[in-house]
Structure 1
Amino acid sequence: MKAATVRELKKELAFKSKEELIAICLQLSRFKKENKELLTYLLLAVDDEAGYIQGVKEEIDEQFLNINTLSYYYIKKSVRKILRMIKKYVRYSKNKETEVELLFYFCKKLKTLTPPIHKNRVLQNIYERELAGVQKKINALHEDLQYDYNLELEAFFND
């Protein structure tokens, strides 16, 4: 079955009643975990972005605690998994400030990881790539936020 375009879906949804839309959303939530997470964000967390960020940070902390530090191989796999999770949550939010905040937090946690990441080139590259990405995203923000985040970014480079 070929999927319909967004335009076609939008037209069809315009003709649905409130009850039908609720039923469609509930049916979507049954099929994939990501659909349910997105609906949760849109219905419950969109009004409280700070709470959403805090919840994601707590999940990041939990994931970092569960990293198997016996081998750099396992550390790399876990770090990539955490980064995928962060990117998914950022996609839900579509807020540049949220993205910058979460990626900064990820970089802080990665930098304090033991064994140190500077002994492994792949982990060091992940860290540097994310910091460079954060720097680009900061430039798209409002000037006041740019100043605040640039101060925080300088602290990363000075450590």
Structure 2
Amino acid sequence: MSQSTYGLQHIKKELQHLSSAQVADLCIRLARYKKENKELLAYLLFEAHDEQAFLEKAKEESKALFTQLPLHAYHAAKALRKIIKLANKYSKFSGSKTVELELLIYFCDQYLEHADRRTAYKPLRTIFIRQVQKMAAVLQKLPEDLQSDYQDEFNSLLTAADQQLSWFNKNNF
């Protein structure tokens, strides 16, 4: 016998019939099973009200990881993927496209500052290029007033990458 999975609408309707104490018990029980559930619940309870402080905390954590970036290209690529995974988790928690864009811009700035620019290791190059592509896609999803604000940062990042990375061509973006 398999466990049936209900949709979010059905779960939402059922939760509305429960008391607040029962909902709190369910949240605690859910947080016990996965670390990410616990982290999301902690974000929603303690950090969601101050998005800027949350963003600064995420930047500090990723900067600490960037300063420990290994010199060997293979290990550096693994460390960069770990940083991307962390940034994706934080942007998923916030659910805000501006936070996601800020984290992407910060990642690319830190990449230009800390990563080996002369490497011929293709995965290192691909990591940066994919993040720039993702940044361009997120930028298109923002409202026009925010797009113009972030477009300048995006263009200056592309210019800096074009100057610092011999294998990068900003005209492709």
Are 2:91 and 1:90 equivalent residues in the alignment?
Answer: yes
Residue pair 2:139, 2:147 contacting (<8 A) in 1 also: yes
AA in 2 matched with 1:150: Q
Match of 1:158 in 2: 159
Shift of 1:118: 5.1
Aligned pairs for 1:1-159 within 5 A: 1-69=3-71, 71-116=72-117, 119-159=120-160
- How far apart in 1 are the matches of 2:101 and 2:95? 11
Q: CA deviation at 1:21?
A: 0.7
Q: 1:144 to 1:7 in 2, by over 3 A?
A: closer
Between the two proteins, the alignment pairs up a number of residues equal to 158
- Partner of 1:42: helix, strand, or coil? helix
- In structure 2, relative to structure 1, the CA distance for the partners of 1:138 and 1:99 (3 Å cut) is same
- Can you give the 5+ residue segments of structure 1 that lack an aligned partner in the other structure? none
In the alignment, structure 2 segments of 5+ residues that lack a partner are: 161-173
Relative to 1, partners in 2 of residues 1:55 and 1:92: Cα closer, same or farther, differing over 3 Å? same
Mapped to 1, the partners of 2:9 and 2:146 lie a distance apart of: 35
SS in 2 for 1:150: helix
Give the TM-score of the pair, scaled to structure 2.
0.84
- The alpha-carbon deviation at position 114 of structure 1 amounts to 4.0
Bigger mean CA offset, 72-81 vs 129-138: 129-138
- Give the whole-Å Cα distance in 2 for the aligned partners of 1:133 and 1:72: 22
Amino acid at match of 2:30: L
- Which stretch of the first structure deviates more once superposed, 27-36 or 115-124? 115-124
Q: Secondary structure at the match of 2:141?
A: coil
**RMSD in angstroms over aligned alpha carbons?**
1.5
Contact 1:110 1:117 survives alignment (8 Å) = no
- Alpha-carbon offset, residue 99 of structure 1: 0.4
Give the conservation status (yes or no) of the 8 Å contact 2:32–2:38: yes
